[in-house]
Chain A
Amino acid sequence: MSKTLFDKVWDSHVIQKINDGPDVFFIDRHLIHEVTSPVAFLGLKNRGLRVLHPERTFATADHNTPTINQHLPINDPLSANQLKALEDNSKEHDIVHWGLGHKNNGIVHVIGPELGITLPGATIVCGDSHTSTHGAFGAIAFGIGTSEVEMVLSTQCIMQTKPKKMRINVDGKLGDFVTPKDVGLYIISQLSTSGATGYFVEYAGEVFENMSMEGRMTVCNLSIEMGARGGMIAPDEKTFEYIKDREFTPKGDAWNTAMTYWKTLKTDVDATFDKEFNFKASDIEPMITFGTNPGMGMGISKEIPVFDSKKGGKATYEKSLAYMGFDQSDAMIGKKVDYVFVGSCTNGRIEDFRAFSSIVKGKKKATNVTAWLVPGSHVVENQIKEEGLLTILNDAGFDLRQPGCSACLAMNDDKVPAGKYAVSTSNRNFEGRQGQGSRTLLASPIVAAAAAITGVVTDPRSLK
């Protein structure tokens, strides 16, 4: 029977199908971090259980870590406590742990691919919804709750009902300054934040074939923002090239065996999906969000849409715009910007910093803007330095911080103050996401760069 890429990976990991219930699903790789794992370890302890496969489990500290002075003790006792718990639990259960300052440390979804933990055909989970990022490699990867973290720690399995299948095709060529982030935000704006709930998405078509691995990660990362369980892209030569010779990638014979398997990982021509969408690359411009969920995005040159009565939810729409301090029909271009955040598992990789640098090169940061540039990992941080980007950034008036999730969720000190506007390359513009009362405009690193040097929302295509 014809199968989709998703079917192939899913079905090969089902240990048992429960009648009128979920599948018992085996997990190849489990990534853990300090915020969603402590209670799971506590659960294990209470049940007198141990981690079943420590060699399949990887721990990094990222969510609440500071992004300056990482060598100093952490001020916030609660954060320090969580980091300590991660370290102690990892030690007790023989799990590899990359704490603050370790060369492999960074945002969990940035380091997985970097270290070759993320592989095609693998099943990967983490107590963080943006685990969908790893789908860029043809893996089934999704976020889980803490009870499920406990489940995977103790049994390497999870109980899941197989999601429905959706394919999203984007064909054609992307225009100037249109990035993978814009593709993601565009799709979410078309489908809404619940448009893919209950589905696992495969991205296909020319745009994704031509996209770099890092771009594919950005797109898969955003899958969760339209409600999807995850998103994936069939592995190809680019994928194999990317993973070859990384720390945890199979080597020698194991590599050859794996390659034979990986090459089978594509959707059969006559396989079918429960839902399919087709978009054209030429319809996508640089995007920006104007509201308080990632579905409220628009082409940067457009005006904030007037409420569409067919969609319902008028009160919610008005509440959202009121929170943002915007009106229907406002242009976004020219809106004042106070903060610019470049980073997160969506846009915290080297290509993102290259893109940002290419725009700010030879220019100066606007004086009204506070900019936080936060690499996704130490590897990225070093690349920025080695490629000479740091000099470009410094010359333009920008500093580089140390790796972590930072203002993506503002659990550490990187909080946007109430009422202030932040152009952010992260993934969520929820009320207060970047600090109590903060107002977030999601955009690509290029749009962020244009805002950082002009101090207002600016169409990068209009820059000289």
Chain B
Amino acid sequence: MAYDKFTTLTSTAVPLPIENVDTDQIIPARFLKATERKGFGDNLFRDWRYNADNSIKKDFVLNNPIYKGKILVGGKNFGSGSSREHAAWSVYDYGFRCVISSFFADIFKNNCLNIGVLPVQVSAEFSQKIFDAIYKDATTEFEVSLEHQTVTILSTGEKESFDINGYKKNNMLNGFDDIDYLQNIKSEISAFAENLPL
């Protein structure tokens, strides 16, 4: 088993309604020097959380004690930019298990799925409803059901379904990863490699 299983998550959420949040903001390059996957949560959104002298930027949402939870709700085109999986690791390591946005960049989305963070893409309207619900009451809980592929705003009962391909869904429900799968078809891979032109 490669990571924690994901079934249903019920949690409050942290709102970050900024568009095009890129991976350099999620984790700046200077924190990519580790050779182990440890401690990345401390530097999640580092330069939005802290000033250059390491003092706290009070107006940034992660520094606002009202907002907490295992769900991060981002603006459109979340995770654009670099392929650094460190971005997904820092999201995970900080304690988020699910990111909701109306649009994700491809590589970031893949990286999340590969490490057990569920990327949930909802419509722009529903994303707005989620932000509204959080800003109305920060203790509003959301239910993300992977099995049913739905997100529910528990205070209003409003619900929307999301897409995920069946294979990835099964992986996340069981905590499997791709290497587990590929290991089982190694002889097929070798046979294939024999017959390639390059």
Q: Which of A's residues lie within 8 Å of B, judged by CB?
A: 15-16, 18-22, 24, 26, 28, 35-36, 38-39, 42-43, 47, 49, 52-53, 63-64, 76, 78-79, 81-82, 85, 119, 121-122, 127-129, 131, 143-148, 150-151, 154-159, 161, 163, 193-194, 197-198, 227, 229, 250, 257-258, 261, 293, 312-313, 315-316, 319, 409-411, 418, 428, 430-433, 436-437
Interface of A: prevailing SS: loop
B88: chain A residues within 8 A (beta carbon): 145
Q: How far is the CA of A38 from the CA of B38 in the complex (A)?
A: 12
Cβ of B55: which chain A residues have Cβ within 8 Å of it? Answer: none
Q: A155-B183, A293-B22 are in contact. Are A197 and B106 (CB under 8 A)?
A: yes
A11 and B11 alpha carbons, distance in the complex (Å): 42
Interface of chain B residues 170 through 193 with chain A (CB within 8 A): 177-179, 181-183, 185-186, 188-189, 192-193
Nearest 3 Cβ contacts at the A-B interface? A21-B167, A20-B166, A145-B85
A24-B189, A28-B198, A261-B197 given. 6 additional CB < 8 A pairs? A15-B185, A19-B166, A82-B35, A197-B103, A316-B75, A433-B24
Per the bound structure, the CA–CA distance linking A194 and B106 in Å amounts to 9
Q: Which residues of A contact B83 (CB under 8 A)?
A: 36, 127-129, 131, 143-145
* Whole-angstrom CA separation of A298 from B35 in the bound complex: 39
- Asked whether B179 lies within 8 Å of A193 as measured between CB atoms, the reply is no
Shortest CB–CB separation between residue B51 and chain A, in angstroms?
10
Given A20-B166, A145-B83, A316-B20, does the pair A85, B182 have CB atoms closer than 8 Å? Answer: no
A-B interface pairs (CB < 8 A), number: 199
Q: Are A436 and B167 in contact (CB under 8 A)?
A: no
> Bound state CA distance, A155 and B188, in angstroms?
11
Which residues of chain A come closer than 8 Å to B34, judged between CB atoms?
38-39, 78
The reply to whether the CB of B43 lies closer than 8 angstroms to some CB of chain A is: no
CB neighbors of A among B6-38 (8 A): 17-20, 22, 24-25, 28-30, 32-37
Given A129, A198, A319, which contacts B82 in the complex, CB threshold below 8 Å?
A129
What range describes how many residues of B lie at the interface?
A: 35 or more
Residues from chain A with Cβ under 8 Å of B166 in the complex? 19-21
CA distance A293 to B22 in the complex (A): 9
Q: Is the CB of B185 within 8 A of A24?
A: yes
Which residues from chain B sit less than 8 Å from chain A, CB to CB? 17-20, 22, 24-25, 28-30, 32-37, 47, 52, 75-77, 80-86, 88, 103-107, 110-111, 114-115, 165-168, 177-179, 181-183, 185-186, 188-189, 192-193, 196-198
| Assembled-state Cα–Cα distance A122/B198 (Å) | 7
Contact of B35 among A38, A250, A418 (CB under 8 A): A38
Q: Are A258 and B47 in contact (CB under 8 A)?
A: no
Our pick among B47, B80, B85, B186 for the contact of A293 (Cβ within 8 Å) is B80
Residues in chain A near residue B177, CB distance under 8 A: 147
- Given A36-B83, A194-B80: A42 and B36 interface contact (C-beta under 8 Å): yes
